[in-house]
Copies of this chain bind each other. A is one copy, B any other.
């Protein structure tokens, strides 16, 4: 049974006292059939997942997040512009171009990041390393909020696209969205190893769908000169009472808000930067190339879709029921991609359905990618003691199961709170993204500054100075966009994410303080443990049955300095019987009766134990509690619950040890998962020593 020790360098003799590793015959746990069905059989810790993916798989999986945002970003811009009525839509291409500029700057900045931090810790690592613990923590708070929102927004947008295909989905949108989140949780609890190819295909399909849509649209409009009109083109759109129309300050504010809304296209860029280790070597370089590729594709798609939407006169408004003339209360705006697909290919063509399906699917893949990022960040934070340790334990399938569950719960709460409304969710979304962008870029500037202090090679110094300039520009630009977003969106929901971030920040700081305080309290001061002066044993007795007899025998075997049996006098008739029985048996242990005029059990015992300890405070008191062990849950209701309550209260009394002396009733046998192994061939519920002939 004892095999090699891989832990220390002390020479081991087999069976000797210093041997370390014991390998017991292990069978995979069979605890719950349901759990096995959901998760599959558990993985061993040494079956670690493959660490690198070929680029053609890695790229699409991690790119699903930034690419999928082009599915909802154009609609956000149009919607913001619609506040000034249908006439404002003409500004859409200009807004889109501004967004693309920012996107490309951010991409360029992150290319510096992946070079400098190839470990994949991402924004959190960059900020924590360069801006100190507080900076890292703010970025982490922003990211945690954002991950939840990414799932909520992506799933809600996916449901919107499905709803444009199947009206039943549109009617129960919230329910469907929560179901999708639940499905993602289940998939991710099973582990992410099989996800590579299966999740790359939808991304390629989405790209193909978009290229087909844009290409065929371009061909029909430019090539054939057709005048395509979207189904919403002829709706009469009225402005929302913002006052001032399209002049001066109002126009500037309108454009800024549209730009802020469109910035949602930038979400997901970090996903790639966080996954440098998953690329084939040279990892940093491949990741940087991938970043650029994805950035260019996303920019092209965004511009093309906005152009196509303008050409076909797509209208998309913020408040359909009030802004669109003649719209009933049940009116649902089809997503922009759905309108374009209908316009270019016709509303019952196969292509229409394929485009909507591919869009929905890529959004789900984007949400799924987040299910990898969030638990990893949670585990990082847990190992830095900012979050509960449970987030750092890997589940049966080696995933950080608790992180997956927390993300699923958070996203579901958001979906339910905002009824899977993409617009409402996006108001909350981008704040966190730009907080992380800005802090991360500032961190990078600091990073390069530190590098410059030691770097002497002129060529390398020039390259570092270039990188620093890039990141500085990125920091200033994203910081400016953050201000714009805060101004334009604060009272539309951005304040909610700020509150959430502050709450999470304070929570994490509090948790860290707790762990630190406990850690300081528990650091050993002496080199060797010190023995207590004396050990007083107190055996609780209510009746002289076998569990009590066994507790007495066991208490004697621990050779305490004093030994007393104690009973609480709640019913004097019972107590009288017990005393008579006790006297009759001459057990050699004194029985003390504690009076309890108010029929309490816990308090008199605590008071008694305390009085024993007070008379000699350097001693320790061991309380022996005989307990029944029953096999059926309802049987617990039939035995006094006092033992449980008493034990938890005794834990608060310093210097008191609590020993449970369990007595397995016949019904408890076979109730333990590892039962057969435990009992072996001599299975018997009566412990053997009860019948031993000694003493």
Interface residues of A (CB under 8 A from B): 1, 5-8, 10, 17-24, 26, 28-29, 42-46, 388-390, 393-394, 396, 511, 514-515, 517-519, 521-533, 535, 544-547, 549-550, 552-554, 556-560, 569-570, 572, 575-576, 579-580, 583, 585, 587, 590-600, 603-604, 606-608, 610-611, 614, 617-620, 622, 627-629, 635, 637-640, 647, 649-666, 668, 671-675, 677-680, 682, 684-695
CB neighbours (8 Å) of A533 from chain B are 689, 692, 694
Chain B positions within 8 Å of A673 at CB level: 603, 649
Task: Identify A24's interface contact among B595, B627, B628, CB under 8 A.
Answer: B595
Q: Which residues of B contact A603 (CB under 8 A)?
A: 29, 673-674
Q: Say yes or no: A611 contacts B532, CB within 8 Å.
A: no
Copies of this chain, count: 2
Name 26 interchain pairs, CB-CB below 8 A, sorted by A: A7-B569, A20-B579, A20-B591, A42-B598, A44-B598, A45-B570, A390-B640, A524-B544, A524-B546, A524-B549, A530-B690, A531-B553, A532-B554, A535-B558, A557-B620, A558-B559, A558-B622, A606-B674, A622-B659, A629-B652, A649-B672, A650-B662, A652-B675, A655-B688, A657-B659, A660-B660
Expressed in whole angstroms, the Cα–Cα distance for A199 and B557 within the complex equals: 60
Cα distance, A694 to B620, chains bound together (Å): 14
Q: Which of A8, A22, A390, A529 has most B Cβ within 10 Å?
A: A529
Establish whether residues A617 and B531, one from each chain, have CB atoms under 8 Å apart when the complex forms. no
List chain B residues, Cβ under 8 A from A655. Answer: 687-689
- Roughly how many angstroms separate A604 CA and B23 CA in the complex, as a whole number? 9
- Taking the nearest CB of chain B, how far is it from the CB of A27, in angstroms? 9
Chain B residues within 8 Å of A685, by CB:
654
Interchain CA distance A44-B650 in the complex, whole Å: 24
Q: Are A529 and B558 in contact (CB under 8 A)?
A: no
Please, how many angstroms separate the alpha-carbon atoms of A170 and B661 in the complex? 57
User: A662 touches which one: B18, B545, B619, B651 (CB < 8 A)?
Assistant: B651
Nearest residue (CB) in B for A515 is B638
B679 & A651 in contact (Cβ 8 Å cutoff): no
Query: Are the CB atoms of A26 and B674 closer together than 8 Å?
Result: no
Is B620 touching A554 in the complex (CB atoms < 8 A)? yes
- Asked if A583 contacts B545 (CB within 8 A), the reply is no
A518, B665: Cβ atoms closer than 8 Å? yes
Bound complex: CA A662 to CA B309 (Å): 68
Q: Are A8 and B583 in contact (CB under 8 A)?
A: yes
